[in-house]
Amino acid sequence: MLMVVIQSQHMDEDHKTIIANITWNPDGWRNTRKFYINPHAGHRYVRKYPGHESLNYYFDKPFDTNEDIYGYVQWAKTPKNLADGAVMIFYSTDIEHAGHKGKIIGIYGNVKLVDPVKRIPYEGFEKDELLSNITAKRNLSFLFPIYLDAKKYSQNGKRLVPQVGYTYRNISFAEQVVVDEINVLKQGGIRIEEYNKLKDIYFFITGKKYADTQDIQDEQEQKELDSIESTRSIKEIINELKQVTPQTPELVETHGKIYKRDNKSVVDIKIVRGKKCQICGTFILTKDNKHYVEAAHIKPKRDKGPETFDNIIVLCPNHHKEFDYGATVIISQDEENITFEMNGISYTVRLALD
Ligand SMILES: [Zn+2]
């Protein structure tokens, strides 16, 4: 549900978008519960206590509410001109990888500065206090599943934001970042919750609805097909899948409705392969008690890789993203199996439908 108030026109246009620099966290900002302590830090304090910035994407702090989350940015000077309800883009230099690459790692929507407040006693930060100096809306704040390369957004090759600081940018910058994140996620198959959140953020930024795309319609159609109780046996499904060729009609009818053949094939392949990851055997159990797994294209969809059983393997979300974004090399492939190396580890996965 969309619960967004469009900003007043009186808002200060020049100070609506801010890029905030936060220190790289080698957990990639994901392991937020284990607050990050930097053993290599220049000053002794952060070699002993967690940095506040590791709390920016941990939304279950005692003072976070259903609506509001609290974060922290260390800046040399408070950005006093920041408009209420601004958009904050988080920038971080990736010190774990060669070249100290700058990444855009996430976003906060409807940001307000709060006086650095001591919230609760906390075993950690200076004087055992948990501090916060920004607040934002939970439903508009998101840690990007895939970080964006900051270089793309630099002006005249300069880094986006100084060491301990921030940079104001036009609101169109925030719009571009959100669109880019949607597009990069789509290449590997965006999840519906991720997409909905980014759409809400897009609406907050622009006041416009993000246009639905074919990929998402496909995901929704697959969800619907999956929920239709299949009356076919595995043998029948296998026979149907074996008959699918690029020449098969693109639309098929089942349960009295027309669906795209490709979407039906993806669902059928998942059923035949047992709805579990072909690498690690896991799946995500959804709240309606279904097995969530993803279909990875061996030849990518963007290169016109078909939705046929010899081009689709079933993976958990982690392995799917690793397959698409890790260093993946196909060693061999025949009608029975595919063998590939992914980030230095070799896997053989069955393609045949028996
Ligand atoms: Zn897996």
Cβ-proximal residues to 157 (8 Å cutoff; 6+ apart), any chain: none
Place of tokens 């959804």: 286
What does the block give as tokens for 125? 């930060």
- What is the Å distance from ligand 1's center to 283 Cα? 7
- What is the Å distance from ligand 1's center to 318 Cα? 6
- What is the Å distance from ligand 1's center to 131 Cα? 38
- What is the Å distance from ligand 1's center to 243 Cα? 28
- What is the Å distance from ligand 1's center to 248 Cα? 31
Which comes out higher in pLDDT, residue 96 or 272? Answer: 272
Q: What mean pLDDT do residues 12-21 have?
A: 86
**Do 38 and 87 form a contact (C-beta atoms < 8 A)?**
no
Is the confidence at residue 190, as pLDDT, over 70?
A: yes
Nearest Cα neighbor of 272 from 225, 238, 236 is 238
- What is the Å distance from ligand 1's center to 347 Cα? 11
How would residue 7 be classed by pLDDT, with cut points 50, 70 and 90? Answer: very low
- What is the Å distance from ligand 1's center to 294 Cα? 10
How would residue 201 be classed by pLDDT, with cut points 50, 70 and 90? Answer: very high
Rounded distance between C-alpha atoms, residue 108 and residue 171, angstroms: 13
* DSSP β-bridge partners for residue 120: none
Is the confidence at residue 222, as pLDDT, over 80?
A: yes
Our CA dihedral for 28, 31, 37, 41, rounded to 10 degrees, sits at 0
Q: Tens digit of pLDDT for each residue in 138-148?
A: 999 999 999 99
Rounded distance between C-alpha atoms, residue 181 and residue 297, angstroms: 20
Question: What are the phi and psi torsion angles at 312 (to 5°)?
Answer: -125, 130
Q: Which amino acid makes up residue 138?
A: R
Helices (H) and strands (E) in the chain, counts: 6, 15
- What is the Å distance from ligand 1's center to 39 Cα? 31
- What is the Å distance from ligand 1's center to 25 Cα? 25
- What is the Å distance from ligand 1's center to 343 Cα? 14
Q: What is the pLDDT of residue 1?
A: 47
Instruction: Compute the mean pLDDT over every residue in the chain, rounded to the nearest whole number.
Output: 83
* DSSP β-bridge partners for residue 118: 131
Q: Tens digit of pLDDT for each residue in 70-83?
A: 998 888 888 989 99
- What is the Å distance from ligand 1's center to 205 Cα? 35
How would residue 150 be classed by pLDDT, with cut points 50, 70 and 90? Answer: very high
Q: Which of 19-28, 174-183, 211-220 has the highest mean pLDDT?
A: 174-183
- What is the Å distance from ligand 1's center to 271 Cα? 16
Rounded distance between C-alpha atoms, residue 50 and residue 325, angstroms: 30
- What is the Å distance from ligand 1's center to 231 Cα? 28
- What is the Å distance from ligand 1's center to 320 Cα? 7
- What is the Å distance from ligand 1's center to 282 Cα? 6
- What is the Å distance from ligand 1's center to 349 Cα? 12
How would residue 8 be classed by pLDDT, with cut points 50, 70 and 90? Answer: very low
Rounded distance between C-alpha atoms, residue 174 and residue 90, angstroms: 11
- What is the Å distance from ligand 1's center to 315 Cα? 5
Q: What is the pLDDT of residue 41?
A: 66
- What is the Å distance from ligand 1's center to 212 Cα? 29
How would residue 127 be classed by pLDDT, with cut points 50, 70 and 90? Answer: low
**Do 119 and 62 form a contact (C-beta atoms < 8 A)?**
yes
